Structure 1
Amino acid sequence: MKQEFGDYMKQLRETKGLTINQLAAAAGISGSQISRIENGLRGVPKPTTLRKIAEATGVPYEELMDQAGYLQEQALPSEEVVPEWATSKDKRDFRKMLEDDGELMFDGIPLDKDDKQRIKDVLTGLFWEAKQMNKRNKSNNT
């Protein structure tokens, strides 16, 4: 079983020889937020916060995402799902769209894991369709 994320964060920080305040300053987030994460008083950070922590600690972002449980619950698309015409910028835009989602709700009620995945599947199709249409429009206008 995977280690709790707060315990993992504390061990990571200590292994890197950082105090809470040093990590906070390097990551551009508050020391109290790091303390709450490590003590299990706050849930798993959002992907944008994990990216800041990854950059501050020199740990691969994917490792933090995996430890936080994001890659098990909502695997980022494999190359098979990505259209052949997609550029590296398109792929980066797509990953950012998936990472930056907030709490998904319907009528004020948080959605469960299955509903979130269905919405992400639909968004994936719409995203690539819109990207492809945008590329066609640019090529037709030039």
Structure 2
Amino acid sequence: MENEFGTLLRKLREQKGMSINQLAEAAGISNSQISRMENGVRGVPKAPTIRKLADAMGASYGELMTAAGYLEGTNGSFAQEAAPTPDWATYKDKRDFKKMLEEDGELMFDGIPLDDEDRRRIKDVLTGLFWEAKQMNKRKKKRSDSPDGK
């Protein structure tokens, strides 16, 4: 992941026509730290540092977080579209899920508000995880309801 992140960081910086020094100044990060990230000498930075880099370059925070290994789907790649509602989901399940997603106003990561694209991606991942957890709970209930308790 470190090398993937560094490669993407360099590519985005060069596409924006920025030098390492320009990016360092815009992001409030030392130029040596950026150089070490790009060359794979330094480990993957923490989320607030990635947010600073994304903002300074006008790049996708989600794309950088994915390259850093923070955001992954179950198959090792980031979920591109929301998981479909399973056939077994009841009206109550769907209502509960919708309420859970919409009840909380602003989604944040590490104290930083997420942009629309990042919010959509996070909701997509949460959708898949929610339905998976619901299905596991339904299986557990069926087992405990059976006469032998298995």
Q: Sort the TM-score into its range (normalised by shorter chain).
A: 0.5 to 0.7
Question: 1:57, CA displacement in angstroms?
Answer: 0.5
Cα shift readout 1:70-104 (whole Å, capped 9, x = no counterpart): 111798xx8x4972573324x32xx326xxxxxxx
Match of 1:88 in 2: 105
Question: 1:62, CA displacement in angstroms?
Answer: 0.8
Task: Let me know the Cα RMSD of the aligned residues.
Answer: 3.4
TM-score normalised by structure 2 residue count: 0.52
Question: 1:51, CA displacement in angstroms?
Answer: 0.3
Change (3 A) 1:57 1:29: same
Where does 1:1-142 land on structure 2 (aligned, <5 Å)? 4-72=4-72, 80=97, 83=100, 86-89=103-106, 91-92=107-108, 95-96=109-110
Change (3 A) 1:6 1:86: same
Identity of aligned pairs, percent? 51
Question: 1:44, CA displacement in angstroms?
Answer: 1.0
Structure 1, unpaired ranges of 5+? 98-142
Whichever of the two has the greater Rg, that structure is 2
Higher relative contact order (CA 8 A, sep 6+): 2
TM-score normalised by structure 1 residue count: 0.55
Q: How many residues get paired?
A: 94
Question: 1:16, CA displacement in angstroms?
Answer: 0.8
Structure 2, unpaired ranges of 5+? 83-96, 112-150
Tell me the secondary structure at the aligned position of residue 83 of structure 1. Answer: helix
Provide the C-alpha distance between the structure 2 equivalents of 1:82 and 1:33, rounded to a whole number of angstroms.
42
Runs of 4+ in 1 over 4 A off after TM superposition: none
Change (3 A) 1:8 1:81: farther
In the alignment, residue 62 of structure 1 is paired with which amino acid?
Answer: G
Question: 1:56, CA displacement in angstroms?
Answer: 0.5
Question: 1:46, CA displacement in angstroms?
Answer: 0.7
